[in-house]
Structure 1
Amino acid sequence: MSHPQPVARRMYDLVEPIGLVPYFADESDEALMALGLRKNWDAYFAGRAAPLGRGVPAEVVHAIFYNFAEGEVARHIPQIWELTTPEAALAARERGCVAGLRRILGDLADDPAVARAADLLLKAATSAPVQGRALYAALRTAPVPAEPVARLWHAATLLREHRGDGHNIALVTEGVGGTEAHVLHALSVDMPAKEFGRIGHLPAAQLEAVIDGMRARGLVGADGWLTDAGRETKERVEALTDRLAEAPYNALSPSELDRLVADLEPIRAAIPW
């Protein structure tokens, strides 16, 4: 069912912090590195690309992940699959994330609210169409864990990748490339692009060429900041991303959605990012 008011942005605020556990809690990288991986970025690509399987080439992962600079994915894929398997990476990532989430939540991890939230969030997360959502569709094939904290994290990850696939669609719709998306975000929060972590490591000439291209399209001004057109583009991308992220929550009744929000609020409050 469709809800009277859009809910995707509200749910993003509650669910995204759970989906970010692999990137902020050390336990995830530690579990993946124990498989024999050599670098933190190996752990990132092994954990996130594992649902796609061993045989997917770097060019396809690059296209699906969307926002890495040329050549960055190929530094890790397929080499990581010489060190471990996608199945082992999936299991290690889940173990690490559950350990990290349990550490963060403390006694709250065993509260009945976590189990309720996990079940309702999973109902939403497994209800959306998969068409056009390559990473979400791949993750849908992964085993669903039974333990409540694991189910909660798994559901949040499904919703994160569903939204991420939709965000890529929104960026393509607006003609914003992968590195450009990072520039657009950095400048929208008044941060110089060269200081933004995801692109700050790029060679200065490479990053400046991206910004020059955006300047030529009227998105960035001569002063290096977003123009009105640039800010409007960012707003349209976010609005379309939210609209495309609504579908999972249509599986929940209004009372289920209210219950889910109430149960997620203390969980979100306990997560420090």
Structure 2
Amino acid sequence: MNSQRTQNIRTVSSRLNSFHSAMYFSETVGREYAKHGLEPGVEGNLAGRSAPLGRVNAGVVSAAYYNYSHAFLSTQFPKIWDTASPETMVQARFDAVAAFMAELFDSREDIALLTEAATQVATAVEPVLANMDFSGRVLAQATADALTAHKPNTAFERLWGVATIAREFRGDGHVASLVTTGVPGIDALMLDVATGASFKPRAAQKTRGYTDEEWKAAQSRLAEAGLITVGEDERGFDLPAITDAGRDLKEQVEQLTDGTVAAAWSVLSDEEIEALVSPSRSLIKVLAQSGAFPASVFAQPAKKTS
């Protein structure tokens, strides 16, 4: 693929990821999950995203998610399934998405234009989904099976489904790329944090369940390798910052990831992919305006999660 085509796929993929992942920080979504006895936030989100896999144990979730602490997930699974079954949570996530999308879009005066943008993006990306080979992509395949069996009620719910499958497909490819380059999950998370364009350090550590000892060990390892430097934030907490070598490593992984999705996107021409840049931008602006990515969690609006 030429560089502009690759960059446009990255841009659209990043925005699809944001459209999917904004729900993880929503109080509205948390209240929907709480109806089923789950704590809003990490517990509910783990249940909703894992549900398409069925009643799996912590090992399956840890392997699929890649950058979560296995020890932490072992405290969550199978306990979560004793509270709410996977089947319950598949439907609960659809209910949560419906409530979240209604909250975001229903009262907006420009809803007609935004509906048109959501329809345009979903319609254009659906052939990409149809062209996907899910071999070796366990989370993406399970998610696609669950989502394609569901009938969305609005253009925004439809786009969320499209975005979610595309996100998990690229995400599984990203995991394979990290494995290929020998970057462990916690290191990948630390490097992402160190860019200053994703999770804040304490938020990343907490949501992924790493202990202070594990976090500091990874930080020290990456600093010794010359991939990050470590300073302090305004409160005196460690603040990793990525180096040129760290950026080079991340770009190497991203280029491998680009290769894992190239065949799926080959169904669209360069012009068709470029045509998605503008409408996807309009939709992401709504997320930014709504505060969907809270400043307490992100250094700036999220673009990617492993």
Instruction: State the shift of 1:216 in Å.
Output: 4.9
How far off is 1:168 after superposition?
Answer: 1.0
Residue 228 of structure 1 and its aligned partner are, at CA, apart by: 3.9
Cross-structure match for 1:47: 48
8 Å Cα contact 2:33/2:39 also seen in 1? no
Contact 2:27 2:40 in 1 (8 A): no
Cα 1:190–1:130 change in 2 (3 A) is: closer
Report the counterpart of residue 164 of structure 1 in structure 2. Answer: 171
Alpha-carbon distance in structure 1 between the residues aligned to 2:60 and 2:139: 11
- 2:85 maps to a residue whose letter is T
Q: 1:183 to 1:265 in 2, by over 3 A?
A: closer
1:248 aligned partner = 264
Aligned counterparts of 2:131 and 2:202: Cα–Cα separation in 1: 35
The superposition leaves residues 113-169 of structure 1 with CA deviations (integer Å, 9 ceiling, x where unpaired) of: 433332323332342110221110111111242422221111111111112111111
Structure 1 29/248 Cα, relative in aligned 2: closer, same or farther at 3 Å?
farther
Q: How does 1:198-209 map to 2 (within 5 A)?
A: 198-199=204-205, 202-209=210-217
- Specify the SS of the correspondent of 1:132: coil
Matched residue type, 2:129? A
Q: Distance in 2 between matches of 1:69 and 1:97?
A: 26
Q: Distance in 1 between matches of 2:46 and 2:126?
A: 24
Closer, same or farther: CA 60–116 of 1 in aligned 2, 3 Å? same
1:20 is matched with which residue? Answer: 21
- Structure 1 unaligned blocks of 5 or more: none
Which SS does the other structure have where 2:5 is aligned? coil
Verify the 8 A CA contact 1:122 1:152 in the aligned structure 2.
no
Does the 8 A contact of 1:144 with 1:151 survive in 2? no
Report the residue type matching 2:80 in the other structure. Answer: I
- CA–CA distance in 2 between the matches of 1:190 and 1:9? 15
Query: Are positions 1:214 and 2:222 aligned together?
Result: yes
Aligned to 1:265: 281
- 1:180 lines up with 2:187 in the alignment: yes
Instruction: Name the residue aligned to 2:12.
Output: 11
For 1:219 and 1:68, locate their aligned partners in 2 and report how far apart those are by CA, in whole Å. 21
Match of 1:136 in 2: 140
Aligned-pair identity (%): 29
1:195 is the counterpart of 2:201: yes
Give the secondary-structure state (helix, strand or coil) at the position aligned to 2:203: coil
The corresponding residue for 1:76 is 76
Distance 1:194 1:104 in 2: 24
Cα distance in 2 for partners of 1:129, 1:77 equals 29
Change (3 A) 1:253 1:85: same
Question: Residue 181 and residue 37 in structure 1: after superposition, are their counterparts in 2 closer, same or farther (change >3 A)?
Answer: same
What is the TM-score normalised by the length of structure 1? Answer: 0.85
Q: Quote the Cα distance in structure 2 between the aligned partners of 1:131 and 1:77.
A: 26
Contact persistence 1:3–1:254 (CA under 8 A): no
- How far, CA to CA, are the matches of 2:197 and 2:117 in structure 1? 38
Aligned-residue CA RMSD (Å): 2.9
> What secondary structure is seen at the aligned counterpart in 1 of 2:70?
coil
1:21 shift after superposition: 2.6
8 Å Cα contact 1:218-1:227 kept in structure 2: yes
Any conservation in 2 of the 1:135–1:165 contact (CA below 8 Å)? yes
Residues 44-69 of structure 1: CA deviation (Å, up to 9, x unaligned): 11101011001x21111111110012
CA-CA distance at 1:240 after TM superposition:
2.3
> When the two structures are aligned, how many residues end up with a matched partner?
271
Residues 244, 226 of structure 1: alpha-carbon distance in 2 compared, 3 angstrom cutoff: same
Alpha-carbon distance between aligned partners in 2 of 1:211 and 1:146, rounded to the nearest angstrom: 43
CA contact (8 A) 2:170 2:257 kept: yes
8 Å contact from structure 1 (residues 122, 151) kept in 2: no
Q: What amino acid does structure 2 have at the position aligned with 1:188?
A: T
Which AA in structure 1 matches 2:125? L
Give me the whole-angstrom Cα distance separating, in 2, the residues matched to 1:130 and 1:178. 22
Alignment of 1:108-147 (within 5 A): 108-109=110-111, 111-142=115-146, 143-147=149-153
- Residue 97 of structure 2 aligns with which residue? 97
